[in-house]
Amino acid sequence: MNKQGKRVVLIGSAGTGTAFAAATALRRVWSQSVCIVAIDINPWHLFTTSLLADEYEHVPFSNSETFPTVLQEIIQRYAVDTYMPLLPDEMLLAAQLRDQSLIPTEVSVLAPPTESCAACADKWTLNQLLAEHGVPVPRSSSASDPFAGKDFFLKPKNGTGSYGARKVKADELASIVGNSAEEWVIQEICTGPEVTVDAFYDKSSNFIRAVCRERIEIKSGVSTKCRLFIDKDLCRYALSVATILDLTGSFCFQVMRNTSGWVVIDVNPRPGGGTAMCALVGNDFFAATFAQIWGEDTIRFFREFEGDHFVTRQYAEFLMSPSS
């Protein structure tokens, strides 16, 4: 709590759609009873979350040497009690700083254990970990040691947001990855639909909630048309993923199909930008995440629904400086 008796929430990578969705949920549910501190690599007038924030700070990249010191100073200056890192590098760093007690213990860091952050940031490690625990995954290998096949789906080992991911032919793989084959993962070609499962898990009550989003249209890695539905099998997958990676609160993962059924192709140990779509059918994963960390009722953020619901997204415009 700060001097005004408000909870202080620090939102990292505030320029992302996920950060904007988190700030929106905070304002919708807790309105002005929370103080939002937004940090980003852009100045305030270039990230929309600043419109919802009480404070905003221009910070270096989370993988820069100076970022940890800047972060610690911001946490102290604003009396932050809840920190939501969002990008994989930032989440891993936050978990490490927490482990090293470089973030005060009274600050709730919305990141899973360091090992889980590391696993989710490394597609090869994640694939192996899930497979070891019986979660169906696509056949995969390092690009330096490809399995036999004609076509592969190639992904950067540490990629996010589908950047760099593409279908390649086996005979062009070597020329594409060049000397950095170890930095790439190849997977068998899966078939659609691509579904993102938004999930919330409360370990103490063993409560799991999962809403599936079939990505009907994707533009630049962002879902723009989705079909929302409930699937009991994928809910079971969600529980397995949460248990294996020791996830609590909201997270999401992507599935596609191979010959054996649904396979998990990626896991984010946090909600995604598209997770906000679920709020339109009464499932507010962002609000539930904050409610859980603050010991409040989480069930109220989940409303049952049946059948298919379609959600489309359009850009919204925000003026970031006064009109003349």
Partner 1 sequence: MIAALDLDGTLITCEPRQSACLQAALVCYGIRVSTSQVWELKREGASTEQALVLLKQDPILARRVAEHWRQMIEEPYWLGLDSTLPGTISILGAMRATQAKLCLITARSRPQWIPQQLARLGLRHYLDHITVVPPQTATNAKATVLRESRASVFFGDTESDYEASVSADVPFFAVTTGQRSAGFLVAANVSHVCETLRDAWTSFLRSSENPSKETCSNSQSNLEA
Query: What is the contact surface with partner 1 in residues (CB under 8 A)?
Result: 24, 27-29, 31-32, 44, 50-52, 54, 279-282, 303, 316, 318-323
CB of 272 to partner 1, least distance (A): 17
Q: Which of 242, 255, 252 is nearest to 214 (CA)?
A: 255
CB of 221 to partner 1, least distance (A): 21
Q: Nearer to partner 1 by C-beta: 105 or 323?
A: 323
Q: How far apart are the first and last CA of the chain?
A: 38
Rounded CA-CA distance 28/17 in Å is 16
Instruction: Kindly state the DSSP code that residue 281 receives in the 8-state scheme.
Output: G
CB of 32 to partner 1, least distance (A): 5
Rounded CA-CA distance 212/193 in Å is 11
Q: Nearer to partner 1 by C-beta: 189 or 281?
A: 281
Residue-by-residue DSSP string for 80-112? --EEE--SHHHHHHHHHHHHTT-S-TTSEE---
Q: Which residues pair with 211 in a beta bridge?
A: 198
CB of 53 to partner 1, least distance (A): 8
Q: Nearer to partner 1 by C-beta: 1 or 174?
A: 1
CB of 322 to partner 1, least distance (A): 5
For residue 156, whether the previous peptide bond is cis, meaning omega lies within 30 degrees of 0, is no
Instruction: Kindly state the DSSP code that residue 54 receives in the 8-state scheme.
Output: S
How would you label 236-247 residue by residue, b for 16+ Cβ within 10 Å and e otherwise?
Answer: ebbebbbebbeb
Q: Nearer to partner 1 by C-beta: 35 or 95?
A: 35
CB of 195 to partner 1, least distance (A): 22
Rounded CA-CA distance 307/248 in Å is 27
Q: Nearer to partner 1 by C-beta: 169 or 303?
A: 303
Q: Nearer to partner 1 by C-beta: 187 or 283?
A: 283
Residue-by-residue DSSP string for 211-224? EEEEEEEEETTEEE
Q: Nearer to partner 1 by C-beta: 295 or 322?
A: 322
Count CA atoms within 13 Å of residue 60 on its CB side.
10
The length of the chain, given as a count of residues: 324
CB of 259 to partner 1, least distance (A): 39
